[in-house]
Amino acid sequence: MDIILFNPPRYRNGGHHKFNNALLWLASYLTQRKVKVRVVPLNNEQFEATIQREIATHRPKFAAVSCKWWDTLYSSSYIASLIKKQDPHIVTISGGHTASFFARELVEKTDFDVVVRGDGEEPLYQLVSGGRSINCVFKGDQQALPVRRGYVQKQETLKDICLAENLEDILTDISVLNSYIWTGKGCLERCVYCSGNVWNSKLHFGRAQIIYRPFETVHRDIEILSKFPDGKRITFDFDPQRGPVQTTYYLELFRGLEPKKYNCYFFSWSLPSKELVDALANTFHFVELCLDVQTGSERLRRQLGDRGLMKPFFSDRAIENLLYHINQYENFAVDMSTLMGLPFERDEDVKAIVAFSDYFYDRYPFLRYPYISPMNVEPGSLLMKNPTQYGMVLFRKSFEDFLQFTQRNFERNINCHQPESYEEGLFHPLGAAPIEDYHRGDVFRVYETWKKIQTHIDRRSNERILMRTQKYQEYGLMKVGIKGGIDRGSPRYIEVE
């Protein structure tokens, strides 16, 4: 075996495992070039035994551990240490958004030998096949070269990245597969809380543009994934507001799909056009559409949007018009994702957030109660880069801070984003607080307020669970458990993923 790609656990008990589908495309790229590769999800509490068995049986020369999401920072480096303990000769590699951001620290302070920054396919292939080093940071490197001088995927080269036909021969546990299919890369926005912003994309992925995958490649990948359990529900999560294509890309993409063959979860990064809503309704058997409203407070949405700290502003009236349009379709469920604790949020905004959510939930039966998540500090975000500019104070700033925070949560099986128990300093639940709260010594105010609101959300969400269940049954959508995607409020085990 040349290389094993491990997907790290989130918790010591293996719970809440989330598979990074990007590993499928990476592994496919390698196998299509004759590299012997396996993908191993570490999705249960026996993950240490799994690593031992995999290494003893397959004796790989390289082992890579995905570190896309920051909440797997500790677990991915812990997996690297287990690999090294068993066989110090194996070259340990990491990659992904968080690894790219902390590349230098990961090779200097953990058991990773190499971090591949940015787009991983060709650099990883070159690394494992003895070719030239591209976008890699090695232990002992004095300075990391800018990614843009190495390898950056372009629109023209995206046709080379497609799934292998025989995923079941590469992936050791197909039950982890989720239906996410990528349609493009890049972002030109500067949402203050998000590591996908244009500054970070340019610095660590060498990309300050938006690129889309060819239709035929996406169609083929959808066919391949649809052979697996849950593959009939396609998840799209790439819908940038700027760039040359936007809605027209999806209209064209949907034209190539057999009508009503698939279900769909579509993350709209803003408000979709009515034309796109019509196309979703007509193309898919059942549509779940998530609108990223960002905040339920129209005042704050306008302020942050106009200042370029979030996506361009749209009004409550525009949301209402869209929901009114969707109302004509039976085969629709709508989610809204919103945040709390954004910069410059006032008490009046918090009241407006709840009023906004109740208003739309009461008015539109196909709407699931809006998510309200507390804003966290994320490595690679503009908030982390310059908190004072946004009126915030950070409690987690460095690699070590994030490593310690994620270690504690991994060992104690605690959710990094909404921890049930927390402490002061770097173990602050959100890692950030408004400056005024900090000066008043009230640094948990946002989180404690959010917890009360979450109780309200759970209660209201449960009011209509029977009605939603009937609809899911009607469309054959019922399933047990949650995998990938986003979690619904309780009782989560009878809710659609």
Residues contributing to the site for ligand SF4 (CB under 6 A): 187, 189, 191, 194, 196-197, 269, 311
Nearer of residues 174 and 188 to ligand SF4, judged by Cβ: 188
Nearer of residues 174 and 245 to ligand SF4, judged by Cβ: 245
CB of residue 187 vs ligand SF4: minimum separation in angstroms? 3
Q: What is the largest CA-CA distance in the chain?
A: 62
CB of residue 462 vs ligand SF4: minimum separation in angstroms? 29
Nearer of residues 98 and 409 to ligand SF4, judged by Cβ: 98
Collapsed DSSP state (helix, strand, coil) of residue 5:
strand
CB of residue 387 vs ligand SF4: minimum separation in angstroms? 17
Q: Give Cα separations from 263 to 235, 286, 332, 335, 489 (angstroms).
A: 9, 5, 10, 15, 21
First to last CA, the chain: 35
What is d(CA 170, CA 179) in angstroms, rounded to the nearest whole number? Answer: 17
CB of residue 365 vs ligand SF4: minimum separation in angstroms? 28
Query: What amino acid occupies position 92?
Result: T
What is d(CA 367, CA 327) in angstroms, rounded to the nearest whole number? Answer: 10
CB of residue 278 vs ligand SF4: minimum separation in angstroms? 24
What is d(CA 359, CA 323) in angstroms, rounded to the nearest whole number? Answer: 12
Nearer of residues 71 and 111 to ligand SF4, judged by Cβ: 71
CB of residue 310 vs ligand SF4: minimum separation in angstroms? 7
Q: Is-contact 144 103, C-beta < 8 A?
A: yes
Nearer of residues 197 and 406 to ligand SF4, judged by Cβ: 197
Q: What is the dihedral of CA 93, 97, 100, 106, to 10 degrees?
A: -60
Residue among 330, 332, 329, 323 at smallest CA distance from 363: 323
CB of residue 194 vs ligand SF4: minimum separation in angstroms? 3
Residue 16: how many other CB atoms lie within 10 Å = 16
Query: What amino acid occupies position 472?
Result: Y
CB of residue 188 vs ligand SF4: minimum separation in angstroms? 8
Nearer of residues 54 and 119 to ligand SF4, judged by Cβ: 119
**In the chain, how many H helices and how many E strands?**
19, 15
Residue 441: how many other CB atoms lie within 10 Å = 8
What is d(CA 214, CA 159) in angstroms, rounded to the nearest whole number? Answer: 6
What is d(CA 275, CA 92) in angstroms, rounded to the nearest whole number? Answer: 48
Q: Is-contact 322 274, C-beta < 8 A?
A: yes
CB of residue 488 vs ligand SF4: minimum separation in angstroms? 21
Nearer of residues 271 and 426 to ligand SF4, judged by Cβ: 271
Nearer of residues 308 and 476 to ligand SF4, judged by Cβ: 308
Residue among 406, 407, 346 at smallest CA distance from 378: 406
CB of residue 175 vs ligand SF4: minimum separation in angstroms? 29
Nearer of residues 213 and 311 to ligand SF4, judged by Cβ: 311
Nearer of residues 337 and 413 to ligand SF4, judged by Cβ: 337
